[in-house]
Chains A and B, each alone.
Chain A
Amino acid sequence: MTLKEKIKNKKFIITSEIGPPKGIDVKTILEEARLLKGRVDAVNVTDSQSAVMRLGSLAVSRLLKEEGVEPVYQLTCRDRNRIALQSDALSAAVLGIENILVLTGDHPSRGDHPEAKPVFDLDSVQLIETLRKLESGKDLSGKELKGVPKFCVGAVVNPGADPVEPELIKFEKKLKAGAEFFQTQGVYDVKTFAKFIDKVKQYNTCIIAGIILIKSPDMARFMNKNVAGIFIPDSLIKEVEGAADKQDKAFEIAARTITGLKGLAQGVHLMSLGWNKLVPRILDAAGL
């Protein structure tokens, strides 16, 4: 069953994430992919994440497919105008990649080429609409396509946004534009997430809760300070600080959070930040 079919059939979804290397040595990420194979439903491939230039998401998505791992091709509005975005989406379709996760993308000033010209010709809502338009057999300017693509379009939502109302308005727009599933920013507090789910359950869409491993107390504090919508409670940071083995602790917290999220979210999205070898263990412990 494909990710799209699992979403439709209300199956519990497990996704993980791989960040392409800066360069063309794909040995490590393909090893990670093999570890995840059979344990997750799909693997997201980030698109020059944090506006740091890396190997392309589309190429790596195809490599994952060749490894028998279903990719979720992350596509940001940051670097491409509407011509490039549509062209890349068609390229994905022709390479057998169905899942596209649409993101605004970080501003280039945040990355390793701060002098780059930002594009943002379309925003995430408009890009979702554009992908749906391509599926109708026409491009954004209404021209007929030769051969029509099929996508499974995802988007992101941040349950921890403050204030949450503008985020919910945008969520609703993404839904209206045709998003089939949503992956969320990292969730650390199940109670806050439950409140968010309460607000969005009327839409009856697929929400996949993000899990970001806490690799160290410093990383947790850094994320609290710098990453929007992330709130790692002090109690969790203290727990990591007191732990003898940091990997064991990261694993334990993730497994515990996932267990708490079952029944609230339709799935979990594990962002291991390079610790993908822990993912099978986390899933075992969470009973998935």
Chain B
Amino acid sequence: MIITKQKPIDDILKYLEKANKVFIVGCTQCATVCKTGGEEEVKKMKEFLESKGKKVIAAEVWDTPCNLLEVKKRARDRKNELETSETLLLMSCGDGAHTVVIGTGMPVVPGNDTLFLGQSERTGRFNEVCALCGDCTLFITGGYCPNALCPKGLQNGPCGGVKDGKCEVSPDIDCGWLLIYNRLKDTGNLDNMKKVLPPKDHSKSIRPRKVVVDATKKRI
């Protein structure tokens, strides 16, 4: 899931300085779970903007703003409202924002900051456990990703900054390599840690990345 955080409300107001007529779009998926763009948040945003003298033309939660075909369909349905609006306020991730820009051709203001690909631990608690590096080595590291869990993304063990099991960057961060070490030890795979991992192939994650799935191709 894509983890988002609402931008400071003063920043959002600043971005909307020149726009008086606003169309608010939320997302039924990730932003709903993150409480940054579900029914409730979109409603609250509408009330807030109206209290600040803005005219909210529409306030909707789309399923899903990151799907270009869906967005185009929505754009056709809401043609009049979109034409009346000066800008869209996107309460989704950046992917949703970009897709809506393309699908509607409208100016867009982001309501959220897009943070990371996250695991939902429980309601309202999200952890980054995958760094989207494009070169997965979880089979060696016991399912724990050193790229996501170690702020330095080290490949061959902990650095000298680990203290009381915590990372030098913050006492709130567990040392990723100690997690990996304990996991490998518990599962009898400590030999994995003794292998020297080569430098990472960053050419696999050159941006912008693109995947085209050939539906006719047999994969297994």
Contacts and interface: CB of A to CB of B under 8 A. Distances in A.
A104 B199 contact: no
Interface in B145-161: 151-161
A18 to B, nearest CB: 20
Interface string A140-158: 1000000000000000101
Contacts, number: 89
A107 B198 CA distance: 21
A35 to B, nearest CB: 28
A221 to B, nearest CB: 14
Given A165-B181, A173-B194, A82 B168 contact: no
Interface in A152-177: 156, 158, 161-163, 165-167, 169-170, 172-173, 176-177
B193 A169 contact: yes
B158 A170 contact: yes
A177 B198 CA distance: 11
B162 A228 contact: yes
A162 B154 CA distance: 18
A229 B160 contact: yes
Interface residues of B, number: 28
A89 B193 CA distance: 28
A82 B201 CA distance: 11
Contacts of A170: 156-158
Interface of B: 151-164, 168-169, 177-178, 181, 190, 193-194, 196-200, 202
3 nearest interchain CB pairs? A170-B157, A125-B156, A228-B163
28 contacts: A106-B161, A106-B168, A107-B168, A109-B151, A110-B161, A118-B151, A120-B153, A122-B199, A124-B156, A125-B155, A125-B157, A126-B155, A129-B196, A140-B199, A161-B158, A161-B162, A165-B181, A166-B157, A166-B177, A166-B181, A167-B158, A169-B181, A169-B193, A169-B194, A173-B196, A177-B196, A228-B161, A228-B168
